[in-house]
Structure 1
Amino acid sequence: MDFLVLPAILLVISTVHAFQYTELVRYIDSHQEEYVEALRDWVAIESDSSNMLKRPDLHRMMEMVAQKLRPMGGNVELVDIGEQELPNGQTIALPKVVTAQFGNDPNKHTVCVYGHVDVQPAKLEDGWATDPYNLTDIKGNLYGRGASDNKAPVLAWIHAVEAYQALNMELPVNVKFVIEGMEETGSNGLDAMILAQRDTFFSDVDYIIISDCGWLSRRPALTYGTRGNCYFYAEVEGPKQDLHSGVYGGTVIEPMTDLIGILDTLISPSGKILIPGIREAVAPLSDEEWKMYQDIQFDLDNYKNKIGVNQLMYSNKVDLLAHMWRYPTVSIHGIEGAFSDPGTKTVIPAKVIAKFSIRQVPNMDPALVKKQVTDYLHLVFAKRKSPNKLKVTMVIGAKPWLADTQHPLYEAGKAAVKRVFDVDPDLIREGGTIPIARTFQDVTRKSIIMMPIGGFDDGLHSQNEKISRYNYIEGTKLFVAYLNEVSQIKKSGV
């Protein structure tokens, strides 16, 4: 070959790739309104997985997902994952999991995109400025329950694949989808399904992509870690029934007093966990991590203003991010059985149940945390010499997840972000828990990346949840670009 011709050939190849991306971007921009209407239709479904009365809506939501995918061809299935047992002993059908496959070229990488379309509860009277199930566009923000968590990201992935198809462009990788309807209540039934299909649906998957998270600031981000969650009930039981405090106050040792007393021994006012063995299990912050945190775009004042406080636990960025992401914490969530309605009620509760959690990090084992917490609380309770009874139960034991930021998946992510947003992404961790990431890692042994498109101010699980039109549309472009970047990972890099 004439080597003088080679640069020209390379230029033509480069131009073709650039032209294809430009065409995809034009297509996405020209279909913005269609994408918003699709999100409007999805948000209108009250797919609250925690409300048994909304289960028909959840089933309808899963059918709607399948209906969105079927016209695109490929292999779309609604997978039955069984039933859910209710506290009263009755059973109710779990929403089916939607799986789909587009392309099966053995010479290409295969990616599996995970998402969920169930939502947290929402009512207008909770403090929403708009109807939470009527997508409302206000100054470029699309307000509605589930808009950011996780309906818009799921739609953006579907629209990314759809854009390639609409322009008769071959998908650069094979794409599979796993979309569930029980994530907000613990992904009931999904772990078993993943295990059952490990050697079938997941056998040819190279990489798993999760977009159920958000940016930390206005700069795009790639997420490489989440904390786990050990959730506890601490029950103190005393008299056989509730008592009148005027008649019995001063004569009985009250369960609520015992419960408040032991809860106060879990964590110090400065945030130090007092349970022996918890802090000792955590790996110290390395110099490399410190440098990564130092480079992340994060404004403490904006963070304080956003959540409405005038003081944080830590006064510098690195300490705050470290304790948000890679150190454990104790949070007390509520007390069941205590009087909490408006007005006054002079009652001594006969039984109260505290609910608290410990967000755990790598090097911590849920089984060991369960033992440490149970032993410690019983020891503290014994010192009170109370006649009441204590029962400690761990009801959730979700493990943390951590990825290698040097993996080619993350290099591809950086390249895609750079192409779409013209900035380098922040590499961040999540303080919350996404249990399915660890399940995918443990069961399939595949490499995972979390690629968020939600904004830092989207208000997930809160009133007035939203996703900006910008993030929704540019996020679709990001997914289009990312599929192309993943296709360029060498097979030896898998």
Structure 2
Amino acid sequence: MIHRCAAVVLLFAAVYSFEYEELKQYVDSHEGDYIKALREWVAIESDSSDATKRGELHQMMEVVGEKLRKLGGKVELVDIGTQQLPDGETLPLPKVVTAEFVDDGGNKSTVCVYGHVDVQPAKKEDGWSTDPYNLTDINGNLYGRGASDNKAPVLAWIHAVEAYKALNMELPVNVKFLIEGMEETGSNGLDAMVESKKDSFFSDVDYIIISDCGWLSRRPALTYGTRGNCYFFAEVEGPKQDLHSGVYGGTVIEPMTDLIGILDSLISPSGKILVPGIREAVAHFSDEEWRMYHDIQFDVDSYRAKIGVDRLMYNNKVELLAHRWRHPTVSIHGIEGAFSAPGTKTVIPAKVIGKFSIRQVPDMEPATVEKQVTEYLQSVFAKRKSPNKLKVKMVIGAKPWLADTKRALYEAGKAAVKRVFNVDPDLIREGGTIPVARTLEDVTHKEIIMLPIGGFDDGLHSQNEKMSRFNYIEGTKLFISYLHEVSQIKKN
């Protein structure tokens, strides 16, 4: 019996190897079509932060829905309500696209692929070498806004399903898509939509895959964690109106001076967070995790040179990665109400708002962080004995996300990477925040993996964002291989 089972396994592996070669050849022969599709998607200025581009955002969702519909998917464009702008105007939110490729009556596993097709703002005059909305191929790199974040990965998943369909091969697992258009501005309306669909669309989903992330180096990676984000406004208010520094300077206690003082109390020059209780809440850094970080492919000097600084906080690879991924950080982002235009304006602002964030990690809770920060800043402010008023408000409280890399979902990822790239992947975390991961996990209680194909140098959110041809095409093969590997996981 044992020999017979082994023979069946070997036969199945041989059959899949043959199928994979066919699928791989199909992908290679359609590279031009895939680039054309990406060019068409990049040309749609789906900037979710710009209300004047809302029409293009709606168009983008329609294009996604139509592409999935042409593949034979059961497609729905889900209305998620409206958005109120700061000026009081109300706009309809872009619909969320769901699609289902389910044909087995419940015997196969079902994966749900999450992605987004909205983008960050981009203008040629911001420093782009090319038109950001005209995909430009230079030395094997495809430059355009949204090319890597997240249009090419979404398309690669669609191409993976398309390849099976074109070759009349049965999908090894059922595949569902959840594609949104407001990720770059906070995924407005998505949490409620996910909650409303947990007993319908998500009821038969076994695993969730997110490819809205990138590799750390030239070695492929699997991502198993992200930091959360507690974003604060600290408002200091003093005089009833802005004042002239020549007339009032030296006679009033200035709100800006108070604000700079309390912002300076958040973090030391060496990067130590000074808010009591923050560092003490961080999960223990185990020996096993240290060894994992030690084996990751990462060059500190190249990282420093790419940023363009003379010195980093840490020169040791493990320490640097740990503080990028699994330790909290404080970043001060800006001051609202201050004079920031070119020139010299001798104004004393009556009210200023400092904006800063704390990227939190396990085992930090946003509500606890809010209390710690508020109490600490109020105590620092009280010591200044200022007549001005301080208000502290947390406006974002996104939780961190962490997965178990020993689970079968990650073993499948390792096998898929090995098949396509012939290397073992790095297991990495993201320093940023992907709130949808925690939302999907908390609402659906399904396992999640982040399976990136973006390059380490893609320039997400920056000028000259790109996706390499190599990552786009080989990434499509990776997704094809991954669907097979997930089909080998025994259903509960």
- Offset of residue 284 of structure 1: 2.1
Cα distance between partner residues in 1 of 2:2 and 2:51: 71
CA distance, structure 1, for counterparts of residue 294 and residue 287 of structure 2: 10
Deviations 1:7-54 (Å, cap 9, x if unpaired)? 877655433211100000000000001000100011111111111111
Deviation sequence 1:343-380 (CA, Å, 0-9, x none): 11111111111110000001111011111111111111
Partner of 1:264: 264
Q: How many residues align?
A: 491
Counting only pairs closer than 5 Å after superposition, residues 247-326 of structure 1 correspond to structure 2 as 247-326=247-326
Q: Which residue does 2:132 correspond to in 1? A: 132
1: CA distance, partners of 2:2 / 2:435: 56
**Which residue number corresponds to residue 417 of structure 1?**
417
Amino acid of the structure 2 residue aligned with 1:248: Y
Provide the rounded CA distance (Å) in 2 between the counterparts of 1:319 and 1:227.
Answer: 16
* Cα separation, 2, equivalents of 1:7 and 1:364: 47
Gap change, CA 1:12 and 1:283, over 3 Å in 2: closer
Q: 1:115 to 1:7 in 2, by over 3 A?
A: closer
Instruction: Provide structure 1 residue ranges, at least 5 long, that are not aligned to the other structure.
Output: none
Structure 1 counterpart of 2:102: 103
Match in the other structure for 2:57? 58
Match in the other structure for 2:112: 112
The equivalent of 1:20 in structure 2 is: 19
Alpha carbon RMSD of aligned pairs, Å? 1.4
Aligned: 1:481 with 2:455: no
Cα deviation 1:111-143 (Å, max 9, x = unaligned): 000000001111111111111111111000001
Query: CA 1:269–1:107 in 2, change beyond 3 Å: closer, same or farther?
Result: same
1:279-337 Cα offsets, whole Å, 9 max, x none, are: 11012210000000000000001101111111110010000000000000000000011
Partner of 2:449: 449
Residue 85 of structure 1, CA deviation: 1.6
- SS in structure 1 opposite 2:441? helix
Distance in 2 between residues matched to 1:7 and 1:228, nearest whole Å: 45
Deviation, structure 1 residue 414: 0.1
Letter in 2 for 1:391: K
Matches of 2:52 and 2:134, distance apart in 1 = 20
Distance, in Å, in 1 between the alignment partners of 2:211 and 2:9 is: 34
Equivalent position amino acid for 2:290 in 1: W
Alignment partners' CA distance in 2, 1:131 and 1:344: 34
Equivalence for 1:74: 73
AA in 2 matched with 1:345: K
Q: Deviations over 1:171-219 (max 9, x none)?
A: 0000000000000111000000000010000000000000000000000
Aligned AA (1:198): K
**Segment drifting more, 102-111 vs 24-33:** 102-111
Query: What corresponds to 2:438 in structure 1?
Result: 438
- Residues 1:212 and 1:6: Cα distance change in structure 2 (over 3 Å): closer
Q: Which amino acid aligns with 2:269?
A: P
Is 1:383 matched up with 2:367? Answer: no
Partner residue, 1:36: 35
1:415 maps to a residue whose letter is: A
Per the alignment, in what secondary structure is the counterpart of residue 396 of structure 2? strand
> Distance in 2 between the 1:71 and 1:59 partners?
19
CA distance in 2, matches of 1:351, 1:33: 55
Structure-2 separation of matches of 1:12 and 1:195: 42
- Separation (CA, whole Å) in 1 of partners of 2:38 and 2:78: 23
- Equivalent position SS for 1:100: strand
Equivalent position of 2:169 in the other structure = 169
Question: Which range moved further: 370-379 or 419-428?
Answer: 370-379
Opposite residue 13 of structure 2, the aligned amino acid is S
How far apart, in 1, do the equivalents of 2:26 and 2:475 lie? 14
Q: For 2:10 and 2:214, locate their aligned partners in 1 and report how far apart those are by CA, in whole Å.
A: 37
Matched, 1:199 2:178: no
The runs of at least 4 consecutive aligned structure 1 residues that moved more than 4 Å come to: 5-12
Q: For the structure 1 residues 254 and 34, does the alpha-carbon distance in structure 2 shift closer, same or farther, using more than 3 Å as the test?
A: same
Aligned-residue identity in percent = 79
> How far, CA to CA, are the matches of 1:53 and 1:315 in structure 2?
45
Find the aligned partners of 2:21 and 2:475 in 1 and give their Cα distance. 15
Q: Measure, in 2, the Cα distance between the counterparts of 1:30 and 1:253.
A: 70
Shift of 1:89: 2.6
3-state DSSP of counterpart to 1:195: helix
Amino acid corresponding to residue 128 of structure 1 in structure 2 = W
Paired residue secondary structure (2:354):
strand
1:104 is displaced (CA, Å) by 3.7
Counterpart amino acid of residue 207 in structure 1: Y
Question: d(CA) in 1 for partners of 2:443 and 2:7?
Answer: 47
Q: State the 1:88 CA deviation.
A: 2.4
| Cα distance per residue 1:50-84 (max 9 Å; x no partner) | 11111111001100101111111120010000011
Alpha-carbon distance between aligned partners in 2 of 1:16 and 1:485, rounded to the nearest angstrom: 14
For residues 153-192 of structure 1, the aligned pairs below 5 Å read 153-192=153-192
Shift of 1:242: 1.2
Distance in 2 (alpha carbons) for counterparts of 1:270 and 1:138: 40
Instruction: Provide the C-alpha distance between the structure 2 equivalents of 1:15 and 1:398, rounded to a whole number of angstroms.
Output: 45
SS of residue paired to 2:99: strand
SS of 1:369's partner is: helix
- Equivalent position SS for 1:491: coil
Distance 2:358 2:180 in 1: 26
Tell me the distance in 1 between the aligned counterparts of 2:376 and 2:103: 54
Match of 2:396 in 1: 396
- Corresponding residue for residue 150 of structure 2: 150
Which residue number in structure 1 is paired with residue 209 of structure 2? 209
Letter in 2 for 1:388: N
2:334 maps to what in 1?
334
Secondary structure at the counterpart of residue 113 of structure 2? strand
Secondary structure of the residue aligned to 2:134 is coil
- TM-score by length of structure 1 reads 0.98
The TM-score with structure 2 as length reference comes to 0.98
